[in-house]
Amino acid sequence: ASAEFALVGEVPPHERKPEGPFGDHYGYYSLQHDYPLFRVHTMAHRRDAIYPATVVGKPRQEDFFIGDLLQELLSPLFPIVMPAVKKLWSYGETGYHSLAAAIVKQRYAREAMASAFRILGEGQLSLTKFLLVTDRHIDLKDFPATLEHILARTNPETDLYVFSNLSMDTLDYTGPEVNLGSKGVWLGLGDAVRKLPRTFTGSELPQGVFDVQVFCGGCLVVGAPSRQVEPNIAARIASHSAFAEWPLIVITDEPGRAANSTINFLWTTFTRFEPAADIHARVTQVVRNHLAYTAPIIIDARLKTGFPKELTCRDDVAATVTRRWKEYFPAGGVEMGEADQSHLT
């Protein structure tokens, strides 16, 4: 009774029609696929109806702020629905489904994994591709601080889990085929077990590495040629002495851009990697049927063959927005971003 519009029709079983390509909230032009068809017989609407719509695209767009507001509004419900989960935050800079972080109760050994499974089994949260979990109070919205907190406490041999051969969000093209992929859970519990490096001091670099940037304590962003040119560079980086003290290294085609800001790092890293295919380590062993990873952990976030094109806006639109930004937001305090890159900063 409160609807502005009502569409009446049917969805015929097994009938599909092609849809796409179109720009999506991950920041890419989704490819064309066949989807179920809705045959509309009747459309009704209120007098002077308002059509609710939003602009999606590379973060941060309008849908980003709507998504964050919804998280704020619903956050008091998380501990009610999932009693062992104190706080939960999904990162809109990754398209939301690609990365989330949680603060959970740890009243007995490994209880945190029970909460991780609970999160990954809850409604739309089941689309989460990678989940960071801790039992200490931190500001999950501050991603660099959250990542440092995890890296200072984790033991990758026992705290990093990768689950293969699972379903994945339709618009995430990092998996072996549409709707299929994997998930990862990384625990960082208790007190810190290491002091994180904050300055890269390596002098010699492995062949192929063309840039090294520090994103935050314990995490490097490393530039490397394409996967086609250097398919095995992750192994060389993981075993090289220059990177031995760094618990996490992200390989990317665009290290300067990825390390430039938190938004760029989140988007470049987590929209382009799939845990089962793109996590590497100095040593990987099977211990009690569990993959035990020895740091450094490598995330290969280089673009893959056939990956959708990056979403961009027209040059004239970008120039207009850049010129009028202060007119749009005279009070300031609104992040400009790279207009030619559709508002990534």
Show the tokens assigned to 48.
């002077």
> Is residue 24 among the annotated active site residues?
yes
Residue found by looking up tokens 């760029």 in the block: 264
Query: What would the DSSP string read from start to end of 67-125?
Result: HHHHHHHHGGGHHHHSTTEEEEEE-GGGTSTTEEEEEE--SSTTHHHHHHHHHHTSGGG
Residue 239 host element (H or E): helix 233-239
d(CA 344, CA 338): 5
DSSP helix, strand, coil percent of the chain (3-state; round to 5):
30, 30, 45
Question: Do residues 239 and 285 lie in contact, with contact meaning Cβ atoms separated by under 8 Å?
Answer: no
Active-site residue, from 24, 135, 159, 172? 24
Show the tokens assigned to 323.
């010129």
Residues forming the active site: 24
